[in-house]
C-alpha cells in the first residue's frame, strides 16, 4: 500500500517515488503527497514527470490510491517525480481547517444535529446539517464568534490512530478526519459564512476565504 506522505508533511509539494504497478493509464506508487478525494476533501492537482494526473482515486476496499494519467509511459520500478499545485492545496487546507472550526461553533447552537454532508474544494467549503428550520437568524452571531476565534492563533495537531482514525486537535476541538491539515489556525485568515437553503429539513453553511 502507498505510504501517505501527505499526512506526515502536508506542506510538501514535490516528491520522488517509485511506480509499483501500471495498468493502462493508471499507476500505483510506493509513496505519495498527492491526496485523493475522500472524506469530502477534493483531490490535489499535479503532475508525475510533467504528465498531468487526470484523476486520483482512493480505493475504498484496499485504502490504496491509484492515479489516472493523461498518458502512461511508466512501468513498475520506474522512478517518478511528482509535484502538486501548492496554491490549490493551501486553499483546500485553509478551507478544510475553517470547516472544522465552523462545525465546532455551529453544532452546539443547533443542538448537535446530524451532519449530512461536507465538502472542501479550492473555492469553498460547505457543511450540511439535518435541521428543521432556517439558521439565518443565528448566522451573524456565528460569524462573530468565529471571527474572534480566528483572530488569535491556535495550534493544530493530529493524533494518529490506525490509518483511518486520525484526529484533528485544536484547543478542545477533537474531530476524526483523514484530510490534510494546517499547523495553525492563523494560516486560515478571514472567512465569510453564508447560509443556504437546500430543501426542507436541510441547512447548508458555505465558507469562503476573504483573501
Binding positions for Zn ion, rule: CB under 5 A: 168, 177, 179
Q: How far is the CB of 167 from Zn ion (least distance, A)?
A: 9
Please identify, using beta-carbon distances, which residue of 7 and 20 lies nearer to Zn ion: 7
Cell output for 179: 484530510
Q: How far is the CB of 131 from Zn ion (least distance, A)?
A: 22
The distance from CA 180 to its chain's CA centroid, rounded to whole angstroms, is 5
Closest-CA residue to 103 (of 136, 72, 125): 125
Which residue has the closest beta carbon to Zn ion? 177
The interaxial angle of helices 86-109 and 139-150, nearest 10 deg, is: 130
Element (H, E) at 166: none
Please identify, using beta-carbon distances, which residue of 51 and 102 lies nearer to Zn ion: 102
Please identify, using beta-carbon distances, which residue of 51 and 181 lies nearer to Zn ion: 181
Q: How far is the CB of 172 from Zn ion (least distance, A)?
A: 16
Q: How far is the CB of 123 from Zn ion (least distance, A)?
A: 18
Q: How far is the CB of 110 from Zn ion (least distance, A)?
A: 20
Helix (H/G/I), strand (E/B), else coil: 106: helix
Please identify, using beta-carbon distances, which residue of 46 and 179 lies nearer to Zn ion: 179
Please identify, using beta-carbon distances, which residue of 80 and 177 lies nearer to Zn ion: 177
Please identify, using beta-carbon distances, which residue of 94 and 204 lies nearer to Zn ion: 94
Task: Calculate the alpha carbon distances from 17 to 31, 38, 132 in Å.
Answer: 6, 22, 49
Q: How far is the CB of 179 from Zn ion (least distance, A)?
A: 4
Amino acid at each position: 500500500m502507498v505510504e501517505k506522505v501527505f499526512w506526515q508533511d502536508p506542506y510538501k509539494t514535490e516528491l520522488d517515488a517509485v511506480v509499483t504497478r501500471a495498468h493502462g493509464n493508471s499507476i500505483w506508487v510506493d509513496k505519495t503527497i498527492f491526496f485523493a478525494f475522500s472524506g469530502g476533501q477534493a483531490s490535489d492537482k499535479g503532475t508525475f514527470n510533467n504528465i498531468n494526473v487526470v484523476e486520483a482515486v482512493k480505493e475504498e476496499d484496499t485504502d490504496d490510491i491509484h492515479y489516472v494519467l493523461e498518458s502512461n509511459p511508466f512501468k513498475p520500478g520506474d522512478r517518478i517525480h511528482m509535484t502538486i499545485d501548492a496554491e490549490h492545496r493551501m486553499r483546500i487546507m485553509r478551507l478544510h481547517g475553517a470547516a472544522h472550526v465552523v462545525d465546532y461553533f455551529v453544532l452546539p447552537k443547533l443542538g448537535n444535529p446530524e451532519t449530512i454532508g461536507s465538502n472542501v474544494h479550492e473555492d469553498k467549503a460547505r457543511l450540511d446539517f439535518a435541521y428543521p428550520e432556517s439558521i439565518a437568524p443565528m448566522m451573524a452571531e456565528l460569524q462573530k464568534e468565529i471571527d474572534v476565534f480566528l483572530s488569535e492563533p491556535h495550534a493544530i495537531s493530529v493524533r494518529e490512530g490506525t490509518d483511518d482514525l486520525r484526529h484533528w486537535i485544536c484547543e478542545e476541538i477533537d474531530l476524526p478526519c483523514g484530510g490534510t491539515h494546517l499547523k495553525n489556525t492563523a494560516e486560515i485568515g478571514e472567512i465569510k459564512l453564508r447560509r443556504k437553503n437546500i430543501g426542507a429539513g436541510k441547512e447548508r453553511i458555505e465558507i469562503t476565504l476573504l483573501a
